[in-house]
Amino acid sequence: SKKLLLDVDCGVDDAQAIMLALAANAEILGITCVHGNTSVENVCKNTLRVLQVCNKLEIPVFKGASKPILGHEIKGGNFHGSDGFGDAPDPNAPSIDMIQEEGAVSAMIRIINENPGQVSLVATAPLTNLALAVRIDSSLPSKLKGLYIMGGNTESRGNTTVCGEFNFAADPEAAYIVLNDYLCPIYLACWEFTCYSKLSWEFCDRWLAQDSEKARFMARIFKHSLDLSKTERFEKELIAGTGLVSCDSYAMAAAINDAFILESDHFPVSVELTGTHTRGMMVVDTVGFMNKTQKACIMKKVNLDMFEQMMMAALK
Ligand code: BDR
Ligand code: CA
């Protein structure tokens, strides 16, 4: 089975991605938390809530960076609610004491060094922890099997700023470091791709209506952002009609099953750090101007039947 390390900013789609991995035949070595959809403290709490409902509290959870490397924190809007989980009350939430004493960055370095060449790192959040880790241990990227990222964009369409996808816009310097220093295979589930790969509302209804504690939990924490996704404002942002866009789950599915990606582009990529409207925007070097040999695998088409099956299993 695959060895996975997850780096999350536990909003609702991160939760969906984690649950996908828990239901799959994968070994989760740890989950590192970072600022993003909500404060890193809430991210830690939310991650524990997910593990609790899945009976997997033995998986270690680590607290990481609370802010981006430079610049202001971008508030994740209110899309996932102020607590990242739709502000649905949870009186039985596990205690925050369950968070490991070891910090996320050192845990990341330790776990990858303990399993050289074997770990797939799935990052579904601003890349602050990963950037700090590679600055401390520059050998880290060469020891990863693969790095799967939800983030960036290919058509300069933003969901946070005009041209910025949230995970990259929330820490452009970190995204820059990761895309330029991690010389391991990198797989990208970019914003537009996730929008073009929506699942139907009909699927979403069936998915949430499953008779299980996990499905009831998901329906509760998802209500806030689900209602928002169905409004006119989001129809523009979500490109080409509405539907279920579980962004982070695409990166996870690719890490879990090698047959998930059906078509992809292979180009060098980087991130814009300055610019009035373009800070945090991903740039794709289709011609070769950047003289970079490393090419990222940019997902274009994935197996959506397989995706629906994995999503269903996640809430069983
Ligand atoms: C990304 O931003 C976050 O809000 C989501 O969890 C996802 O990781 C989408 O742009
Ligand atoms: Ca996320």
Per residue in 204-220, pLDDT (tens digit) is: 999 999 999 999 999 99
Please identify every residue annotated as catalytic. 9
187: number of CA atoms within 13 Å, CB side? 29
Q: Is the pLDDT of residue 124 over 80?
A: yes
d(CA 227, CA 214): 19
Per residue in 145-197, pLDDT (tens digit) is: 999 999 999 999 999 999 999 999 999 999 999 999 999 999 999 999 999 99
Residue 171: CB within 6 Å of ligand 1?
no
Confirm if 28 and 1 have CB atoms less than 8 A apart.
no
Confirm if 314 and 16 have CB atoms less than 8 A apart.
yes
Query: Measuring from atom 4 of ligand 1, which residue has the nearest CA?
Result: 37
CA of 174 to the centre of ligand 2 (A): 15
The reported pLDDT for the residue numbered 231 is 84
d(CA 9, CA 44): 8
CA of 161 to the centre of ligand 2 (A): 16
Residue 83: CB within 6 Å of ligand 1?
no
| Residue 76: band (very low, low, confident or very high) from pLDDT cuts 50, 70, 90 | low
Residue 173: CB within 6 Å of ligand 1?
no
Per residue in 292-316, pLDDT (tens digit) is: 999 999 999 999 999 999 999 999 9
Mutate to test the pocket of ligand 1, among 224, 248, 299 (most ligand atoms within 8 A of CB): 248
Residue 13: CB within 6 Å of ligand 1?
yes
The reported pLDDT for the residue numbered 78 is 77
> What is the distance of C-alpha 207 from the center of its chain?
20
Long-range contacts of 263-267 (CB under 8 A, 24+ apart): 263/300, 263/301, 264/187, 264/297, 264/298, 264/299, 264/300, 264/301, 265/154, 265/297, 265/298, 265/300, 266/295, 266/296, 266/297, 266/298, 267/295, 267/296, 267/298
3-state secondary structure (DSSP) of residue 58: coil
| Residue 77: band (very low, low, confident or very high) from pLDDT cuts 50, 70, 90 | low
Ligand nearest to the backbone CA of 246: 1
Residue 7: CB within 6 Å of ligand 1?
no
CA of 125 to the centre of ligand 2 (A): 4
Task: Name, in order, each residue with C-beta under 8 angstroms of 28's C-beta and a sequence gap of 6 or more.
Answer: 4, 5, 6, 21, 22, 56, 59
CA of 14 to the centre of ligand 2 (A): 5
Q: Is the pLDDT of residue 232 over 90?
A: no
The reported pLDDT for the residue numbered 91 is 87
Residue 186: CB within 6 Å of ligand 1?
no
Torsion angle in degrees (nearest 10) through CA of 13, 15, 17, 19: -150
Mutate to test the pocket of ligand 1, among 38, 39, 124 (most ligand atoms within 8 A of CB): 124
Q: Is the pLDDT of residue 55 over 90?
A: yes
Q: What is the ipTM of this complex?
A: 0.99
Residue range 127-156: mean pLDDT, rounded: 98
d(CA 41, CA 137): 25
The reported pLDDT for the residue numbered 236 is 81
- Pairwise pLDDT comparison (274 vs 230), residue with the higher score: 274
Ligand nearest to the backbone CA of 12: 1
Q: Per the structure block, which two tokens stand in for 181?
A: 């220093």
3-state secondary structure (DSSP) of residue 199: strand
Q: Per the structure block, which two tokens stand in for 95?
A: 């205690």
Residues around ion ligand 2, judged by CB within 5 A, are 9, 14, 124-125, 248
- Ligand 1 nearest-atom number relative to CA 12: 6
Q: How many CB atoms lie within 10 A of CB 227?
A: 10
The reported pLDDT for the residue numbered 161 is 92
Residue range 42-65: mean pLDDT, rounded: 98
Residue 37: CB within 6 Å of ligand 1?
yes
Residue range 4-17: mean pLDDT, rounded: 98
Residue 16: CB within 6 Å of ligand 1?
no
Q: Is the pLDDT of residue 75 over 90?
A: no
CA dist list (Å): 69 to 6, 107, 128, 130, 132: 20, 19, 7, 11, 8
Q: Is the pLDDT of residue 21 over 60?
A: yes
Convert 236-267 into a string of H (helix), E (strand) and C (coil).
HHCCCCCCECCHHHHHHHHHHCCCCEEEEEEE
Q: Write down the mean pLDDT value for the chain.
A: 96
Looking at the DSSP bridge assignments, the partners of residue 30 are 5
Per residue in 95-117, pLDDT (tens digit) is: 999 999 999 999 999 999 999 99
| Residue 72: band (very low, low, confident or very high) from pLDDT cuts 50, 70, 90 | confident
